[in-house]
Chains A and B, each alone.
Chain A
Amino acid sequence: MNRPPPGPVRTFASAVAGFAAFLLVWQLSVSFVPFLERVPAPADTARAISQLATGDLLWKSIVASVFRVAWGFCLAVGIGIPLGVLLGWVPTARAVGNPVVQALRPISPIAWLPIAVLLFGRTRWFSAADVEAIFIIFIASFFPIVTATTSAVSSIDHKYIRSAANFGVGGSLLFRRVILPAAMPQILTGLRLALGIAWVVVVAAEMLGVQSGLGYQINDSRNNLRYDLVTAVMAVIAVIGLLLDSAMSRIEHATLARRGARHA
């Protein structure tokens, strides 16, 4: 537990070794296990990726998926954080609101698809399919954000609130200078979790309703019996997911860097 963390070179080398081992196991199993013989090998996948990268379909799909995630996620942040602050700060609001939030949370975001279609299926000023997907992403990221913010705000150390009261700091100043910064570490963890879920869910949402995006590309490739394209798109999804997560983690570190060992 207390060993010093390995340096960046070691970390990178270990990751490369892990991927190499994974690719090797993948290659060997599709070559020698009869049950897996129709699964594309790493080389097939790589070839399909380079094929995809030359056309603009891959880029269009990435943009479509990222666009939906960005909208859904930002809406969830904009509504979820204020709601979470309210639930965390006002005990009565929490007593009333939190059970509802906790009851809705375990419903898979995909289960909301019929409701999304019902609500937004006739949208004209925007692509209806886009709005439906955005709504599902919103649902997927909203609950982790509200839950994290509520718990962060309700567990703020008493002494910070007392200090603020002692120095006559109240109202909006109290929120900006004490409550939000005190809750920030936990909120950021919630945002990172929510973005991860959003990226998982967007693929599922796109497999169901819409005609674009990475999820749709997986379906489309399957329908054309191009399983090498399926694994290629899966690889792209993995890379973008990693990039999103490391971007969030950078934001987290940059925000909390000077606060000390607890979060740095």
Chain B
Amino acid sequence: MTPPPDADPSAGDKILVRDVHKTFSTKKGDVQVLEGVDLAVRDREFLAIVGPSGCGKSTLLNCMAGFERISTGSIEIDGVEVTAPSPKRVFVFQETGIFPWFSVWDNIGFGLSRMPFEQKHEIVMRYIRMVGLDGFEKSFPSELSGGMKQRVEFARALAVDPDVLYLDEPFGALDAFTRLEMRREVVRIWGETHKTCILVTHDVEEAIELADRIAVMTQRPARIQTVLDNPQPRPRDPDRREFRALKDEIFGILGVERSV
């Protein structure tokens, strides 16, 4: 699934982040968050970004999505500079961003407003099926569990057929059991659609279970410290030796001593 690491590194690059700096101006002065981030995301890969809390992971993702302006450097997708959000790359929020005033059907169809009804209905129903919410199309978010809301959010993102999915701790608000279930779902959906996925998480195990490559960020002001390959076949078993070895390696890089 993963291209060999020694292939021409620029050939399959979907997103190129070059020497990105980001400073927030606040009342208490400037906060430098990103300091020279370099990162190449390959087409159709699943990349995870891990790093210490508050180091700037969300900021980096927001910049890549076009929600935040970078201070210096460049972010290109398919060779075009990112300046604004676009339906070609969709953001999946931690606290679900689906609209409580719309039914499941209307939420998933939100990005398809200019389409004739028949066509829209077909697409919406296809993604309702893909995320396993058949029969819930008329339900409202308040009538769904946390995991189901997250499925709606995924379906809404997939329905506009984006190239890139940005996932900012998409399972952070879920309970442990649902989180495990949703990880498996995301692996399955990614296998079916092969979007380029960029996942921000502070759960190292989650990163190893899902991603082809794992980028480790430093403390703030952040850079990318290393990018690790993770060629294990899916589904991945956290009890296997390679899994544990990679986990230890990442914890080592993050400077966290693991007791036990």
Contact = CB atoms under 8 A, between A and B. Distances in A.
Contacts of B90: 166-167
A159 B142 contact: no
Q: How large is the interface on B (under 10, 10 to 19, 20 to 34, 35 or more residues)?
A: 20 to 34
A184 B102 CA distance: 13
Contact of A162 (B97, B111, B140): B97
B87 A182 contact: no
Contact of B140 (A163, A184, A259): A259
A169 interface: yes
Interface residues of A, number: 20
B243 interface: no
A260 interface: yes
A160 interface: yes
Interface stretch (A21-29, A91-99, A173-181): A173-181
B100 A166 contact: no
Contacts of B87: 166-168
A166 B65 contact: yes
A212 to B, nearest CB: 42
Contacts of B110: 163, 167, 169, 177
A162 B99 contact: no
Given A173-B113, A258-B142, A166 B85 contact: yes
Interface string B154-181: 0010001000000000000000000000
Interface in B26-49: none
B19 interface: no
A165 interface: yes
Contacts of B97: 159-160, 162-163
B101 A162 contact: no
A167 B160 contact: yes
19 contacts: A159-B95, A162-B93, A163-B91, A163-B97, A163-B98, A165-B84, A166-B86, A166-B87, A167-B90, A167-B156, A167-B160, A178-B99, A181-B101, A181-B102, A184-B101, A258-B142, A259-B100, A259-B142, A260-B140
Interface of A: 159-160, 162-163, 165-169, 173, 177-178, 181-182, 184, 258-261, 264
The 10 closest A-B pairs by CB, nearest first: A260-B142, A167-B111, A181-B101, A258-B140, A159-B97, A163-B97, A166-B85, A165-B85, A259-B100, A168-B87
